[in-house]
A and B are shown apart, each in its own frame.
Chain A
């Protein structure tokens, strides 16, 4: 009896730190149901959006964030629910899904956070996909570097044209 009790306590402790990890990981995690209502909203999302989990839970994503293009996002999610495959959105396609400020407000060069997004199906106990997960990565530095590299390339080409040297 006592061993059972300590097992249960261990399970509970494990569940607790698993949740803690999910909360503190520096990646945005949002779980949505089939109607695009928010189920899970981790600390990353809370901090960057300024919305508490209690503000967003069971509320519709498109109501909370009117800037998210609804038909576009619903189309993106069809393969998640219907094919059980992941979908990816890169910052090159769309700089961001949620307009968050730059993570480094002082030394950052960009106004907003560039985001890479992975949409992943979550299979329930019945094997049906009733929920999906948005994972949001901050790729502002990558985007800034790429933009700078392109700018350098352009000025280099201009210089080449002026001086008549070949690439």
Chain B
């Protein structure tokens, strides 16, 4: 079977790219969180086609392309990035990439390229293009910026309390549909390799939920950082999950609140576990909302095998209030 490898540090972006692959195309889809993982997977023959992001921790897109050239790995690469500068475009082509797609990926554009480079045979299918809602780039930048500032402060705090160097994530800001969130959460539910916590927060006119997801392979190192000795059993894992979530959600929300000049109340966190079907939760709420603003942060700690994601989901209505509060930043 033809294999496609999607390499992006953002979970939302990975899912989004996977969703944009033509439905009728029978392929094996693999994922990588950074260039290092991508090279590994390519060597195992898991990517005849590589959809590659540029800005990533550990090994970015350019370095990945260089490595592919250097090691003579047989793959075709299409770069998917939010970086639309012409130099970026030129650079990736000179490093052997076939083409360049702007984020967020649109199914029709991806399909066109797949045909253009004869990756899939030109079959006459005319599917209506799904309506894709995107954020105004100015607003996206603005949200990204305030999250960056919040994270900068949070990173400093974290580094001090945990005595580790925190690789600051580049926030991914997207408007996502119910179905995309559904896919994201299904991952938590199906794989027992991740654990999650969700916590509601509310401020005047703004409401949302923070979702914290920690890969289970991280627990050992998190325990070390938190200074826990002895076996890391289920009970200790829950304790660590809560501690990590408290610190990350807390610092991030405090940072955002101070820039928006408001105060967030936080509800009690809920453990997303096996006794609660997440897909059911989402589908029963489907009538209430269609789209949500998602600010996604992927964290890594230098020198440790720790990977976690923090996703802040906010209702569409909240954006009105936030845009108003941020209007001084949006004005030219």
Q: Are B275 and A83 in contact (CB under 8 A)?
A: no
Number of chain A residues close to chain B: CB under 8 A:
22
CB within 8 Å: A-B pair count? 56
- Say whether, besides A93-B238, A118-B268, A150-B275, A85 and B250 are in contact (CB < 8 Å): yes
List the 4 closest A-B pairs by CB distance, nearest first. A85-B250, A87-B246, A83-B157, A88-B269
Residues B227 and A75 in contact, CB atoms below 8 Å apart? yes
With A and B bound together, what is the CA distance between A46 and B238 in angstroms?
30
Contact A86 B246 (CB under 8 A): yes
Asked whether any CB of chain A lies closer than 8 Å to the CB of B109, the reply is: no
* Chain B interface residues (CB < 8 Å from chain A): 157, 160-161, 199, 226-227, 235, 238-239, 242-243, 246-247, 250-251, 253-254, 266, 268-271, 275
The answer to whether A93 and B242 have CB atoms under 8 Å apart is yes
Of chain B, the residue at the smallest CB distance from A120 is B266
Provided the pairs A76-B243, A150-B275 are in contact, do residues A86 and B161 lie with their beta carbons within 8 angstroms?
Answer: no
By DSSP majority rule, is chain A's interface helix, strand, loop, or mixed? Answer: mixed
The reply to whether B251 and A83 form a contact with Cβ atoms under 8 Å apart is yes
Q: How far apart are the CA atoms of A116 and B238 in the complex, in Å?
A: 14
> A144 to chain B: closest CB distance in Å?
15
Decide yes or no whether A61 CB sits under 8 A from chain B: no
Distance to closest chain A CB from B2 (angstroms): 35
A78 proximal to B (CB < 8 A): yes
Report Cα–Cα, A85/B275, bound state, in Å: 29
Q: Which residue from chain B places its CB closest to the CB of A117 in the assembled complex?
A: B268
Report yes or no: B269 in contact with A90, Cβ–Cβ below 8 A.
yes
8 Å CB contact of B275 from A82, A84, A153: A153
Report whether B250 and A87 are in contact in the complex, using a CB–CB cutoff of 8 Å.
Answer: yes
Contact B161 A83, beta carbon cutoff 8 Å: yes
Contact between A116 and B239 (Cβ–Cβ < 8 Å)?
no
Contacts of B250 in A (CB 8 A): 79, 83, 85-87
User: Nearest chain-A residue to B239 (Cβ)?
Assistant: A93
Give Cα distance in the complex from A87 to B266, angstroms.
10
